[in-house]
Homo-oligomer: A and B are copies of this chain.
Amino acid sequence: MNIASLKNNLKAVDTASLVDKVEGSLVELLQERKLKVGDAIPKEIELAEALGVSRTVIREALLRLRMMGLIESKKKKGAVITSPDLFGIMSKSMNPHVLDQDTLREMFEIRLVLEIGMADFLFQRIKKEDLDELKEIVSKEPPVTDYHLFNIEHEIAFHGKLYEITGNQTLKKFQKLLLPIFDYVHNSGLLKKQPMLRKFVSHKGLVDILENGSPELFRNAMRNHLENHFARLFD
C-alpha cells in the first residue's frame, strides 16, 4: 500500500492542538449567538468546565481572541465582546524595525496607491467645512528649505485630513498605521536617492481641484504631487 492510497484511507487525524479547538469553539460561540458588543462571556472557570479542559487552555484561547480584538477582559467583570479593530491588531507588529525591507517598501507604495485612488470618495463626501480646514492648513504651510525638503508635520496634517474626508474610518486607521512606516522608509537608505526639490502640483493646487475640479483631475494631480516619491521608487 503506497502513501497516496494511505492518505485516502486514513483521513488525516486532526493535528490541531487543544487550544486551537477551544479557540474555534469560542469564535463560533461569538458569532452564532449574535452577541452584542458589550455583552459578557462566561468566566474562565465556567468555560473550562463546560469544554472539559483546563483553565490554562481557556486562558490561551481567550488571549488569542483578545489579540484579534474580539474581546476585552477586565479584572472583575470578566470578558466582554468588542468590535474588532483590524488595523489596531496589525499595529502591534507594525514596527519598522521588525519588518523586512521589501515589506517596508511595499507599504510605502500602498500609501501612494491609496491617495491616488481615493479621489471619488473625496468628492462624494467632502463638506464645506473640510474645504475650509484644508485651506487653513495650506495657509500655514512652511517654506521649503534645503534642510527640510518638506515639513513632516505639515504633510501629515494635510494628507491626514484627506483620509478623514473620505469618511472611511478603516482607511483612516490604515493611514495612521502607515505613518511611522512612511517616515522610516523616507529617512532610511531604503529608497534610491533623496527626493529632488522640484515642486509639482502643490497642496494648494490639490485644494483648488477639490473645490472646482473632478475626481479625474484630482487623481492626476495627486499622481503628479507624489512624483518625487514615485521617482525614488522607479528611476
Instruction: List A residues at the B interface (Cβ < 8 Å).
Output: 27, 30-31, 37, 59-60, 63-64, 67-70, 83-84, 86-87, 89-90, 92-95, 97-100, 102-103, 106-107, 109-110, 112-121, 124, 166, 168-171, 174, 215-216, 219-220, 223, 230, 234
How many copies of the shown chain assemble into the complex? Answer: 2
Distance to closest chain B CB from A218 (angstroms): 11
Q: Besides the contacts A64-B92, A109-B166, A110-B174, what 6 more A-B pairs have beta carbons closer than 8 Å?
A: A37-B100, A67-B67, A70-B98, A83-B103, A120-B223, A216-B223
Report B-chain residues with C-beta under 8 Å of the C-beta of A83: 99-100, 103
A67 near B70: Cβ-Cβ < 8 Å: no
Measured in the bound complex, the distance between the Cα atoms of B100 and A70 in whole Å is 11
Measured in the bound complex, the distance between the Cα atoms of B146 and A167 in whole Å is 34
Distance to closest chain B CB from A112 (angstroms): 7
Closest to A170 in B: B106
A171 near B114: Cβ-Cβ < 8 Å: no
Partner of A171 from the list B92, B113, B223 (CB cut-off 8 Å) is B113
Distance to closest chain B CB from A190 (angstroms): 14
Partner of A215 from the list B67, B119, B223 (CB cut-off 8 Å) is B223
Measured in the bound complex, the distance between the Cα atoms of B215 and A216 in whole Å is 12
Closest to A168 in B: B106
Closest to A92 in B: B68
A93 near B68: Cβ-Cβ < 8 Å: yes
Partner of A117 from the list B64, B103, B116 (CB cut-off 8 Å) is B116
Measured in the bound complex, the distance between the Cα atoms of B121 and A70 in whole Å is 35
Measured in the bound complex, the distance between the Cα atoms of B113 and A119 in whole Å is 8
